[in-house]
Structure 1
Amino acid sequence: MDFSAKTGSAATLRTDCAVVGVYANGRLSQAAREIDAVAGNLISGLVKRGDFTGKAGATLLLHGPSGIPAKRLLLTGLGEQGKLDLKGWRKAHGAAVSALLKTAAKNAFSFLSMEDVADGEPYLLARHAAEAAEETAYRFDELKSKIDATPARLGRMTLWFPDRKSQSAAARGFTHGKAVADGQSLARRLGNLPGNICTPTFLASEARRLAAGNAGLKVSVVEEAQMKKLGMNALLSVSQGSRQPPKLIVMEWRGGPKQKAPVALVGKGITFDTGGISLKPPPAMDEMKFDMCGAASVIGTMATVVALELPINVVALVPAAENMPDGLASRPGDIVTTMSGQTVEILNTDAEGRLILCDALTYARRFEPSTVIDVATLTGACVIALGHHLSGLMSSDDPLAQEILRAGVDAEDRAWRLPIGEEYDEGLKSNFADFANVAGREGGAITAACFLARFTRDLKWAHLDIAGTAWKSGRAKGATGRPVPLLAQFLMSRAGVA
């Protein structure tokens, strides 16, 4: 979808569809009032009859409205006047796009950007408009034998901005938003692909495909034989029950000064998780194809970095493996020596994500990173703690934690900080190894982070548990692409471009 910024009158503009806002209790926006005045009180009449209340996210499409040149008129609910913030504005814009995609409109002009939005300067309005539009338009139907023969026609969205200065800022916002949305869509696609297609080898090929034609992006893959030489026995303990060979995918973007230490992103890539010998229950096990969404989000973020050519150095590491209950699979009670030299007693083979991450985190040290952020669908405990709205953030570095939280707020992809410390770490004690891979049920998301913290001492490190936010279940089942917006915002802020 293409995006542009222009000015004009809602009452006189020619477009396939004019999009205007209505507040709760029927209060008309400025653009709605302009149209109402020349269209015989069309909108106010609908409101008085109770046909449209302005409820946040509600829409009503009118065909061939009289008095204006627009072919269609889309009323969009904005909620209570004076309380419209970026989150609410983005919701309204997404609802408008959803309604437009059900029509034959090829273009639309939205006047929602005329409204007073808290912290809604032109750059942010445009960026969130692009992200919301692309997120709404996303479809995953590539594996269906029959798909809709009439794809959505909407190809251009224009937003109203009053002058050249605001239009220039909006153009920049559209560029950034489109790049973030494209990265998020890539992450969603990788997450939605089934485990028989999206294997560790497939993920490696997708990373290489992203690097093709992009001289600034270098991709290399650490294969199984090399992992053995490096002593990555924790990662190998997870993959040894599968016929799919593991991969450690390394993506390097050198957009900043050569001497500048990179940011390292590490994404959990369990392409399918049966739980291994500690087998998961059958209901909803199909959703364990989403256990590589940390990897997908890291690859998607790198796509955004490449598209924007960010002036920053970034290294993405994706440990990828399949967790299966083969005769060679790890057993509860097995002890492995990690790449760091520390030994781990595997009490639960379904706590495998931390095992592949710990060796990848150790490997990340060779890049001497300034910051390390790992991203993983790590624990069901995080879903219990935070539900499906916020990602869990754990870090012993307060400034880094605050930086990530701020990025989440700016990107409307929020995280919530959970504690981490010695009192939680005590639960990982083992009688037979340096420590175990699980503690008790209490504080499971936190003790998982404590496990990873043992491999990141003296590093500026943070852990994002996205088990509750990486995908949706039920009728809306599918990957969300989170936290690509958060990670992209973090890197854009570090690079000084947003």
Structure 2
Amino acid sequence: MQFQAKSFDAASHRSPLLVVGVFSNTTLTPGAHLIDQAGKGQLSKLLTREKFTGARGTSLMLHHSVGQTAERLLIIGLGPLEKSSIEPAAINAALNALQNVAKSATYKSLSIDLTGVSVSGQASSWLASHIAQTLTTGLWQFDQLKSQKSNKLNINKITVNTDGSAATIKKSLEQGQALADGMNYARELGNLPGNICTPSYLANQARAMGRGQSKLKVSVLTEKQMQAEGMGSLLSVSAGSDEPAKLIVMEYRGAAKSQAPNVLVGKGITFDTGGISLKPGAGMDEMKFDMCGAASVFGTMKTLLALQPKINVVAIVAAAENMPSGGATKPGDIVTSMSGQTIEVLNTDAEGRLVLCDALTYSKRFKPKTVIDIATLTGACVIALGSHAHGLYSNDQAFADRLLDAGIEAGDRAWQMPLWDEYQKQLDSNFADIANIGGREAGSITAACFLSRFTKDLCWAHLDIAGTAWKSGGAKGATGRPVPLLVQYLLNNK
């Protein structure tokens, strides 16, 4: 999909389809007003006749001219104006309406005029960026594993006219599309089945991403190398699988070596049966999504490579498959982590924290400015927050606040959860330094408490994305979250 920034007169602009907005009570946007003037009031009369009120997300397609030169005119409702602006949700609804039209379009290009549209709480540059992001993700299709492919999208060029200079709009479009491409990459990796997307597949994806990129260094640790590093916790998860674990490291160098990097650590359990603590069969197919934390890290790195910001970022992916076999870790086994702390594995289905703790310890060698781990870690977080917000835990409040703000700015929100010492006692073990589960109560919190034992000397945050990383049911598939939050945070903290 190609996005183009162009300043044009809505009435005289030539396009197979022109999109303009109307606010509630048929208040016209500047672009719609120009068309109405050119057509001597035809548009206003038609809207009245058709009882089109401009309600949020409604649309009206016109195949004839009411003052515009464009072959077709799509009117989309933007809802009520409140203090001269509209809510971001109104833009989302309008773009959803446009997507439905674009998916069945027989023509190859369309144009959007949303000049004069101000979005509450957002800079003027946000609108163009959001148009590119939303349409690129909304029109994306995952059908590479089907023998019968989806109907190919005909639209390949979208021209955008919003407030601001052409250069500013162009930059915003590029940023929005780069973010969407990163999200779509994360969605693709998440949607791939476990027989394709293995730890070795992820390692090869990282190598391919680094090929020809002077700013990206990629290295992959084998199980033998991880054993030498003392990563007994991570290796205990892959012990029951024929697929070898991989520790994938991607170093993006956009700034001076002296600048400490931000580190992202992704949980990459490419399939999670639960191990010996076997999960129920119903819905187990969705455990291919248990590597969505890793997928979001890959997607974030793809976006950074497109935008080339002047920052240093290290991405670490702890990739393994959790399977039951004669060699699998058993409940009650005790393993030694890279940090030297011993762990009693009371439940092999609490494996994400076992791979993350060694990856977090490994991250210390990069002398990081901040560390964020991202993981589909607990069903308890789904119960607590549902599918709307990521669970956020941190040992540094200022850091947590920056992440929360980035999530709001990106429309990819997180909600801070407590990380109090009172919960740590639930992880006590009679036989090891720590147990890998803390009982039924506060499961998401005790999982974060477990990770905190390995991050005491780091500025660290944990994102539990178990409820947000994928959807079930008819819309089943990975969402690409929290790539927007991560990218926004990194760009805000250059």
TM-score band, normalised by shorter chain: over 0.9
Are the counterparts in 1 of residues 43 and 67 from structure 2 also a CA contact under 8 Å? no
1:116 aligns with one of 118, 142, 158: 118
Aligned with 1:180: secondary structure?
Answer: helix
Unaligned runs of 5+ in 1: none
Are the counterparts in 1 of residues 198 and 270 from structure 2 also a CA contact under 8 Å? yes
Deviation for aligned residue 1:41: 5.1
Q: Deviations over 1:68-110 (max 9, x none)?
A: 2211111212122225133432442343234223212322221
Aligned-partner Cα distance in 2 for 1:176–1:29: 25
Aligned-partner Cα distance in 2 for 1:462–1:96: 37
Are the counterparts in 2 of residues 59 and 99 from structure 1 also a CA contact under 8 Å? no
Are the counterparts in 2 of residues 122 and 170 from structure 1 also a CA contact under 8 Å? no
**1:252 matched residue in structure 2:** 251
**1:16 matched residue in structure 2:** 16
1:321 correspondence with 2:320: yes
**1:127 matched residue in structure 2:** 129
1:445 correspondence with 2:444: yes
Aligned-partner Cα distance in 2 for 1:94–1:42: 27
Aligned with 1:125: secondary structure?
Answer: helix
**2:161 matched residue in structure 1:** 160
**1:144 matched residue in structure 2:** 146
Deviation for aligned residue 1:153: 1.5
Amino acid at match of 1:275: G
Are the counterparts in 2 of residues 114 and 160 from structure 1 also a CA contact under 8 Å? no
Are the counterparts in 1 of residues 128 and 162 from structure 2 also a CA contact under 8 Å? no
Are the counterparts in 1 of residues 471 and 478 from structure 2 also a CA contact under 8 Å? yes
Deviation for aligned residue 1:388: 0.6
Deviation for aligned residue 1:183: 1.0
1:409 correspondence with 2:408: yes
Amino acid at match of 1:408: G
Aligned-partner Cα distance in 1 for 2:280–2:45: 56
**1:266 matched residue in structure 2:** 265
Aligned with 1:336: secondary structure?
Answer: strand
CA spacing shift, 1:396–1:113, aligned 2, 3 Å: farther
For structure 1, which segment, 17-26 or 186-195, has the greater mean C-alpha deviation from structure 2 after superposition?
17-26
Unaligned runs of 5+ in 2: none
Aligned-partner Cα distance in 2 for 1:123–1:353: 39
Deviation for aligned residue 1:317: 0.3
**1:200 matched residue in structure 2:** 199
Q: CA RMSD in A?
A: 1.7
Aligned-partner Cα distance in 2 for 1:245–1:214: 27
CA spacing shift, 1:286–1:25, aligned 2, 3 Å: farther
Aligned-partner Cα distance in 2 for 1:123–1:112: 12
Aligned-partner Cα distance in 1 for 2:168–2:8: 18
Aligned-partner Cα distance in 1 for 2:277–2:122: 49
Deviation for aligned residue 1:47: 3.9
Aligned-partner Cα distance in 1 for 2:199–2:187: 16
Aligned-partner Cα distance in 2 for 1:33–1:184: 36
Aligned-partner Cα distance in 1 for 2:446–2:470: 23
For structure 1, which segment, 52-61 or 419-428, has the greater mean C-alpha deviation from structure 2 after superposition?
52-61
Aligned-partner Cα distance in 2 for 1:158–1:25: 27
Aligned-partner Cα distance in 1 for 2:115–2:415: 29
**1:30 matched residue in structure 2:** 30
Aligned with 1:489: secondary structure?
Answer: helix
Matched residue count: 492
Deviation for aligned residue 1:126: 1.5
**2:396 matched residue in structure 1:** 397
Deviation for aligned residue 1:484: 0.7
Amino acid at match of 1:18: L
**1:380 matched residue in structure 2:** 379
Are the counterparts in 1 of residues 219 and 250 from structure 2 also a CA contact under 8 Å? yes
Amino acid at match of 2:76: T
Deviation for aligned residue 1:241: 0.8
**1:92 matched residue in structure 2:** 94
Amino acid at match of 1:157: I
CA spacing shift, 1:334–1:113, aligned 2, 3 Å: farther
Are the counterparts in 2 of residues 113 and 159 from structure 1 also a CA contact under 8 Å? no
CA spacing shift, 1:47–1:384, aligned 2, 3 Å: farther
CA spacing shift, 1:39–1:322, aligned 2, 3 Å: same
Aligned-partner Cα distance in 2 for 1:269–1:261: 25
**1:185 matched residue in structure 2:** 184
TM-score by length of 2: 0.96
Aligned-partner Cα distance in 1 for 2:53–2:379: 40
Aligned-partner Cα distance in 2 for 1:139–1:393: 30
